Amino acid sequence: MGRFCSNCGNEIEAGTNYCSKCGANISGDDSKNVDFNQNRSVGFSERNIATAIILSLFTCGIYNIYWFITLTDEINSLSDEKDTSGGVAFLLSLITCGIYGIYWSYKMGQKLYVAGRQNDKAIGDNGVLYLVLTLFGFGIIAECLMQNDLNKFTR
């Protein structure tokens, strides 16, 4: 068991009074001796879904590209699978005229389900739902549902 910051979950070096990651004062009762796996920091913050949709519309889809890439990278980091990065997934979707994006939706649903089981979060196996939504042109709804599941990890 090591010593971890109660603010961000970063492991604390012996003899220090401040967290090297977030700067929180860890002297006294501010730090905890905990099992690292139980205090795992997800490394990203909750994203407002309505704001993401509005920004995607106002930027004519440019924010949606960013959202797609970050969703992929964040889900990959949660599920500990590093097979395709967000940038590569976006390029493959462009090259295949969206066909890879349909597969991507299914795969992200599977990865979220696995990450939910690993972290004791109530996330269903929605891969088929995301695939069907994307197949019928409702990819942004699939992204919203993915983001909703992803936000559960920050709470």
pLDDT of 9 reads: 66
Residues 13 and 89 in one domain: no
pLDDT of 59 reads: 97
4 sits in which H/E element:
strand 2-5
Range 128-133 average pLDDT: 97
Range 65-75 average pLDDT: 95
Residues 29 and 57 in one domain: no
- Of 12-16, 70-74, 144-148, least confident by mean pLDDT is 12-16
Q: What angle do CA 98, 105, 79 make, to 5 degrees?
A: 135
Residues 102 and 123 in one domain: yes
pLDDT band at 6 (very low <50, low <70, confident <90, very high): low
Residues 113 and 141 in one domain: yes
Residues 25 and 56 in one domain: no
Is residue 44, in this structure, part of any structural domain at all? no
Helices H / strands E in the chain, number of each? 6, 2
- Rounded CA-CA distance 45/67 in Å is 13
Residues 59 and 124 in one domain: yes
**20-53 pLDDT tens trace:** 776 777 765 444 444 334 444 567 889 999 999 9
- Rounded CA-CA distance 38/51 in Å is 31
Range 63-73 average pLDDT: 96
pLDDT of 134 reads: 96
pLDDT of 14 reads: 73
Cβ-based neighbour number of residue 143 at 10 Å:
24
**71-130 pLDDT tens trace:** 999 999 988 887 899 999 999 999 999 999 999 999 999 999 999 988 888 899 999 999
pLDDT band at 56 (very low <50, low <70, confident <90, very high): very high
Is residue 91, in this structure, part of any structural domain at all? yes
Long-range contacts of residues 141-146, Cβ cutoff 8 Å, at least 24 apart: 142/105, 143/52, 143/64, 143/67, 143/68, 143/71, 144/49, 144/52, 144/53, 146/71, 146/75, 146/108, 146/109, 146/112
Does residue 131 register a pLDDT over 60?
A: yes
